[in-house]
Every structure is written in structure tokens, then in C-alpha cells.
Amino acid sequence: MALLSSSPSLSITSPNYRYYPSRRLCLYPISATRVVTPHHIDKSSLTISETSSEDQLWAAACLRVRSFHEFKPSTFGIQLLSLPDDDLCAQCKFSENGEDRVVVGTLDVNQSMSLPDEITGMKPEWFSMLLQQGIEGQFARGYLSNVCVANELHRNGLGYDLVAKSKAVAQKWGITDLYVHVAVNNEPAKQLYMKSGFVYENDEPAWQARFLDRPRRLLLWLGLPGNQNW
């Protein structure tokens, strides 16, 4: 997972889970040392790294909760949801080398054949053929998931920075074909991925979206350097 963090308040990194037959970079946070205004950040204070501690993972999880879910303050008695004014710096903070940092962005890089409840990419073709024949080999296919940036810091290019870092990590792992799922009505996310080089490959059947009670998804593909189709 990748983490984007900043200071006095913003940062994160992630552990590298190498279980077979799939691999997941569990948290790549972007962290920062100083948020200049509620809607602007000093990029010189940002770091992007893999999470390496429980505190970083917790801070990243807090960012995901406040980004993807809306709960009443008393719901489940979750402490982070009852902090005054939904304070990013209070909820998503961790300490590193004696310095307070804040997670402002995070995503997962998954090296695997597919993701649960999501449509599956078909590239590289030789990889799919090996699997059909029951032959196990190195996973050359990967997926991005759980991509989020703090709401207060949208439109600062942080999502683009996170995706750029994830592409470098995926290439280092030997991934040649990188995928991401995005809701058909999520225009900002689609623009981010297309700016990052992703193109349309497939879309989710309407029946599956209805069955899972969610907006229909598009599957976007990116060929990384080393891919013969790139």
C-alpha cells in the first residue's frame, strides 16, 4: 500500500505482503509535514513510501474511513469519527523519528490474477493462457485499489503523484499490465487515471452491479515499460 504523508500532520507507508499466489503492497502513503491552508499543501513537505509500522497503517485506515464512509458520530462507538470537526491532522496522524506526520493519501498495489467481486483484466494474454492450462508462473498482472486523497487536499495533484509511485513499484515487481476499477459516474477519478495513462478495456455487466448494489464499474488498463504492447 502506498502512503502520501505530510508534516505536522501528514504521512504514511506500507508493509509488503508477499503471500503466494498473489502479492500486495499494503500501504503506500503520501505524507507531509505541513498543510498550508485547508485546501493547499506545501509539496516540499511530502513523502511517498510503503507503510512500515502499525501506527502508519492505523493512520492510513483512518483516512480511508473518513474518505469512503459516512457515519453518525456515535456509530459503532468509533473514536476517530467523534473527533471535533472531523480533524484530518488529529485523526490521521502518526509519529516518525520524533516528528508528527499526517497521512494525506493512500492506495494499494495488488499483484494478483484478480480482485474479489471485480471484473478481471485479460492482459498479458500469455499469462491467462498459462492459468487456463493450470501452469503457475510469476504474476505479471496487477491492480490498484483503495485509492484516496484527503478531501481537503483534492486538486493538488496528490492522486497523480500516488499513482505515479505505484507504477514504479509495480514495474519493480515485474508487473507488465496494471489495472484499476472506477465507477462509471466518478468523473474526477476517470480523469486522474486517464491522465496517468490508463485506457478503457472493459466494463462491468449491469446485472453484477445491481447484484452487488453499487454503481457499475469500468476496468482501465495501463501497459508498463517492458510490456510488448506498450
Catalytic residue positions?
Answer: 193
**Measured in Å, how far apart are the chain's first and last C-alpha atoms?**
25
Could you tell me how many residues make up the chain?
230
Residue appearing with cell numbers 493462457: 129
**C-alpha cell of residue 4:** 502520501
Region of 110 (left: φ > 0; alpha: ψ -120 to 50; beta: rest) is beta
**C-alpha cell of residue 45:** 513537505
Asked whether the beta carbons of 71 and 185 are under 8 A apart, the reply is no
Closest C-alpha among 165, 197, 157, 168 to residue 180: 197
Query: On the CB side of 13, how many CA atoms lie within 13 Å of its CA?
Result: 14
Closest C-alpha among 111, 96, 192 to residue 147: 192
